A and B are shown apart, each in its own frame.
Chain A
Amino acid sequence: MSDDYLWDRSGPEDPEIARLERTLGMLRAQDPPAPLRLPERLPDTGAAPGAITPVGVPPIGVTLSDGGNRERALPGLGRRFVLPFAVAATLALAVATLYLSVNPYGPRPSWQISRLDGTPRVSSQAMREPTGRLPVGEWVETDGQARARIRVAHIGHVDIEPDSQVGLMSTRPGDYRLRLERGALQALILAPPGQFHVETPAAVATDLGCAYRLSVDERGDSELRVTSGWVSLDRPADQAASSPKTPPSFVRSGAMCLAKPGAGPRTGPGTPFMEDVSDGFKAALRVIDFGDDGDARAAAFERVLVESRPADVITLWHLLARMADPNASERAYRDRLFDRLAAFAPPPKTVTREGIQAGDSGMLDRWWDSSRLGPRRSGAR
Chain B
Amino acid sequence: MIHGVLLARVPYGDVDDLVQDVFLLAMERLDTLREAGAFRGWLATIARNRATDHLRRAPQTMELPDDLPSNESTADRTEAAAALAIIRTLPEAYRETLILRLVEGFTGPEIAAQTGLTEGSVRVNLHRGMKQLRERLEQQAPARARARDERDDRDERAGRDGRDVKDERS
* Residue from A47, A141, A238 within 8 A of B117 (CB atoms): A141
B40 within 8 A of A: yes
Shortest distance in angstroms between B97's beta carbon and chain A's nearest beta carbon?
10
Q: Contact residues of A with B, CB < 8 Å?
A: 3, 6-9, 16-17, 20-21, 23-30, 33, 47-49, 51-52, 54-57, 60-62, 97, 100-101, 104-106, 108, 121, 123-126, 128, 135-139, 141, 143, 163, 165, 167, 169, 179, 181-182, 199, 201, 218, 220, 236, 238, 242, 261-263
B103 at the interface (CB under 8 A from A): yes
**Which B-chain residue is minimally distant from A47 (CB atoms)?**
B27
Contact yes or no, A124 B52, CB < 8 A: no
List the A side residues contacting B49 at CB < 8 Å: 104-105, 108, 135, 137
Whether, in the assembled complex, B36 has its beta carbon less than 8 Å from a beta carbon of chain A, the answer is yes
A-contact 0/1 string along B25-60, CB 8 Å cutoff:
111111000111011111111001110110011000
**Which single member of A7, A55, A167, A182 contacts B40 (CB below 8 Å)?**
A55
How many angstroms from the CA of A16 to the CA of B76 in the assembled complex?
15
Say whether B39 contacts A141, CB under 8 Å: no
Q: Which residues on the B side are within 8 Å of A141 (C-beta)?
A: 117-118, 121
CB-defined contacts of B70 to chain A, threshold 8 Å: 26
Q: Say which size band chain B's interface belongs to.
A: 35 or more
Beyond the given A24-B102, A124-B116, please list 19 additional residue pairs across the A-B interface where CB-CB is below 8 A. A3-B126, A7-B126, A24-B99, A26-B69, A26-B80, A55-B36, A104-B29, A123-B42, A125-B42, A139-B121, A141-B117, A141-B121, A165-B118, A165-B121, A167-B93, A181-B125, A238-B90, A242-B139, A261-B128
* Least CB distance, B168 to chain A, in whole angstroms: 40
Contact between A121 and B116 (Cβ–Cβ < 8 Å)? yes
Cβ-defined contact, B45 with A138, below 8 A: yes
Minimal beta-carbon separation of B81 from chain A (angstroms): 9
The docked-state distance in angstroms from the alpha carbon of A88 to that of B1 is: 33
Within the complex, what minimum Cβ distance (angstroms) separates A11 from chain B?
12
